[in-house]
Amino acid sequence: GPVAETFRVIQGVVNEEYVRSTQGVFQFDLSGDGGGTWYIDLKTKGGSAGFGKPPVAADVVMSMSSADFVKMFTDKLKSFMAFMPGNSSVKGDMMLTLSLEKML
């Protein structure tokens, strides 16, 4: 599905440089189609992304619909808009969220 495809793309761009510059772990609790818990680890050597809980504790936990998540990463929805109240919630380090935006 679109969520799995998005994470496949993310996994492809995760590299040491992003890990070095970000040093953060993101967990996404997605509702709807292809939902569930997904993560992007930009802290552990080499980095990783995929389905399930992150290998280490998340610095940022974002809750949103899987449709909004896919839109956010395909840039149809500026990520700032995705975090407007009502749509979704972000718990944790907002500065790290901005560094994630650079990766998009």
Is domain 2-103 annotated with CATH 3.30.1050.10?
yes
Give the CA dihedral 89, 50, 44, 47, nearest 10 degrees.
-110
Residue 11 backbone class (left: φ over 0; alpha: ψ -120 to 50; beta: rest)? alpha
Rounded Cα–Cα distance for residues 82 and 67 (Å)? 10
Question: Each residue of 51-83: pLDDT tens digit?
Answer: 999 999 999 999 999 998 888 887 755 655 555
User: Distances from the Cα of 6 to the Cαs of 30, 72, 82, 93, 95, in angstroms?
Assistant: 13, 10, 16, 23, 22
The pTM for the full model equals 0.84
Highest average pLDDT, of 65-69, 78-82, 85-89, 90-94, comes from: 65-69
Question: Each residue of 10-29: pLDDT tens digit?
Answer: 999 899 998 999 999 999 99
Which residue ranges make up each domain of the chain?
A: 2-103
pLDDT of residue 16: 92
